[in-house]
Structure 1
C-alpha cells in the first residue's frame, strides 16, 4: 500500500509517523509554543531526526469550541511556515491540516505534499476539486458539524456502520474525480463521546474493508487523560498504549506529538510481525 508524495512513493505497509506542528496560539496541547522561526525549525529538525515521515502543520485549532479563524489569517499563519521549513528541510514531506480549499491550494503551491482535512470536504465544497487538480494524497477524517458544534452531534444508531457509509460516500466522490491516494482517519474526539471513541478503537479493524490506509490521531487526547484523571501533559504513556493497540488493528500512520515514542512502538510492532 503506497502513496505518491511529490513523486516519492511512500510504502505504508510499514506504519509511518506523522509529527504534529501546531502554529496556533490555542491548540489543546502545544498551542503557542512554536511561533518563532528558530523554535519551528528546532521542532521540525527534532521530529525528522526521531523518524517522522510526515510533518503535519495546523494553523486553525480544531479542539472542541475552538475560536473561529478567518481564511485569510489561516493562510497568513501557515504559508510562511511551509516556506520556512522547506527552505531549511527541502526533502520534508509536509501535510497541511486544513478544511479550506484555498489554504490547501496555497500550501500545495508552496511545496506541501498532502492535505489532512478534518471535514473530508464537508466544510468546503471545493476541496475535492483542489485535491484532484493538484493530485496530492488526501486524508479524510470522520466528523460531524464544525469544531464549534461537533460535541453536540454525538447521537448514532450504529456508529461503525454510519462511519463506514460516510467513508464509502467520500471515497466514491473522490474516485469519480480521479483522486488516487486516499487515507481515512476515524476522527477520535470529533463528534464522539468518550465511550464512542473506545468503541471505534475496539472495532477499528472493520475499517480495513475500505482497503485504504488508516491514520490514527489519539495523541494526548481527552479520551486518554479523562480515563486516567490526568491532563494532556501526563498522557504520553496512555498515548503510547493506544498507539500500540491501533497498530494491531491496522493503523498505517500514527499522528503524534511525541515522535520518538511512536517510532519505538512501530519498531517493536514490526519485530513482533516479522
Structure 2
C-alpha cells in the first residue's frame, strides 16, 4: 500500500531551546501520491488558491493558516483513515497560537479578539474624562461585552506624548475600585491593567487583574519581575523608542528588542504562552511620524516569535496629521489600519469602538475563510 508522504518545511529560529517559526504560514511537500489522490488534491489546491511548485514528482505547497485549516478539514473528511492524518494533526497543533493566563486560554490562531480600552484618566488623548465613576465604567462594560469585547483594559495613567506622571497612589485610586466592581458584576470578564508602575501592578493583581500591560516592557524595575514570578499573570510587553531614533533598519532593532525582552520574561519564570507583544505604535522616536506607519507595515516580522501581537492604532494622532481628521472622525482610518495589521497576524485589537471593530472582524473572518469548495452551497448566513 502506498502511503502519501507529507513533510513540513520550516524556516525557524531558536529561543531558549524552543523552535520558533511563523505560525500563520505552512509549507508542505507531498510525495508518493497515487493518481487518484493527486487528482483530488490538485482540485482542492485550486479551490484553495494555494501556490504549488512541482519537482521530481514532489509537490511543494504554500498555505496561509486559513487555507491550511480548510485543507486539513477537507482531508479529514475525505480520508478519515489515512495514516498521514497524524502528520497533518501534528502540524496543525504546532501552528496553534494560544495566549494563556491563570484564568483564561485564548486560541488566536485564525481569529483576533477585541481588547477594550477603558480609560479612567481625565487626560487620556481620546476619551479622557468620559468614565468618571465606577457606575460609568460598569455601564460601559455591559455594552462593550454585549458588542463583542473579550478583554477589558483599565488605565489610570495616560502615556500620550508629553504626558505628566501621577503618583502610584493616585493611579491606584483610579483603577482598583473599577477592577473590583467589574469582577463583582462580570466575574467572567478578563481584565487587563495598563500601567508601568510596580505598586499599581501589585495592587491590580491583588484585586484580580488577569493581564498586565507595561509600556516599559518590564525592564525598568527588578521588582516587576519578582511580581511576575509570584503572581504568574499574562503580560503584554511593549517595545518603545521615544526620543531614540534608530540608525539601523527598524525590523532588526525591534526583533532584537523582543528576543532580549522575551528572554528576560522567561528567566523571570513566566510561561512562553503567557506573553503577548506590542510593537509600540505611537511610541516611536518622534510622535505621529513615518515610523508609526512603518511599524504597521511590518507587523508580520514579529510572527517569528509565535506570540500574539497587539494592534493598537485606535484613533491615533497620526490620522489627524496625515488626513486632517479630528479625534472624533478617525474611526474609518482606524478600521482600515486594523484590517491591514490583522491580515499580517495581529490578534489583540485594542480599540475604543467595540461594535465597529466586531463587525470588521466578522467580515474579515468571512473573507479569509471563504473557499468555493462546495460549489452548490453559496449562501451567506447571518450568525
TM-score > 0.5 by shorter chain: yes
Matched, 1:10 2:106: yes
Query: More displaced, 240-249 or 126-135?
Result: 126-135
Decide whether the 8 Å contact of 1:216 with 1:253 is kept in 2. yes
Decide whether the 8 Å contact of 1:99 with 1:124 is kept in 2. no
Structure 1: gaps (5+ residues)? 145-149
Decide whether the 8 Å contact of 1:100 with 1:123 is kept in 2. no
Change (3 A) 1:196 1:232: same
Cα drift, residue 128 of structure 1: 2.2
Q: Distance in 2 between matches of 1:260 and 1:45?
A: 13
Cα drift, residue 177 of structure 1: 2.0
Q: Once superposed, what is the RMSD of the aligned Cα atoms?
A: 1.3
Equivalent of residue 181 in structure 2, options 84, 96, 107 = 84
1:257 corresponds to which residue?
352
Cα drift, residue 21 of structure 1: 0.3
Q: Distance in 1 between matches of 2:322 and 2:228?
A: 38
2:19 corresponds to which residue?
none
1:186 corresponds to which residue?
279
2:259 corresponds to which residue?
168
Matches within 5 A, 1:42-121: 42-121=139-218
Cα drift, residue 221 of structure 1: 0.3
Decide whether the 8 Å contact of 1:204 with 1:249 is kept in 2. yes
Structure 2: gaps (5+ residues)? 1-96, 370-383
Give TM-score, length-normalised by structure 1.
0.94
Change (3 A) 1:268 1:156: farther
Q: Distance in 2 between matches of 1:185 and 1:133?
A: 23
Q: Which runs of 4+ in 1 moved over 6 A?
A: none
Structure number with greater Rg is 2
Decide whether the 8 Å contact of 1:105 with 1:130 is kept in 2. yes
Decide whether the 8 Å contact of 1:19 with 1:55 is kept in 2. yes
Q: Distance in 2 between matches of 1:2 and 1:75?
A: 30
Q: Distance in 1 between matches of 2:257 and 2:308?
A: 16
Decide whether the 8 Å contact of 2:228 with 2:270 is kept in 1. yes
State the Cα deviation string for residues 33-62 of structure 1 (Å, max 9, x = none). Answer: 101222111111111111010001100000
Cα drift, residue 24 of structure 1: 0.3
Decide whether the 8 Å contact of 1:5 with 1:93 is kept in 2. no
Cα drift, residue 191 of structure 1: 2.6
1:125 corresponds to which residue?
222
Cα drift, residue 155 of structure 1: 3.8
Give TM-score, length-normalised by structure 2.
0.68
Matched, 1:157 2:248: yes
State the Cα deviation string for residues 204-255 of structure 1 (Å, max 9, x = none). Answer: 1111111111011000001222111112111011100001001101101100
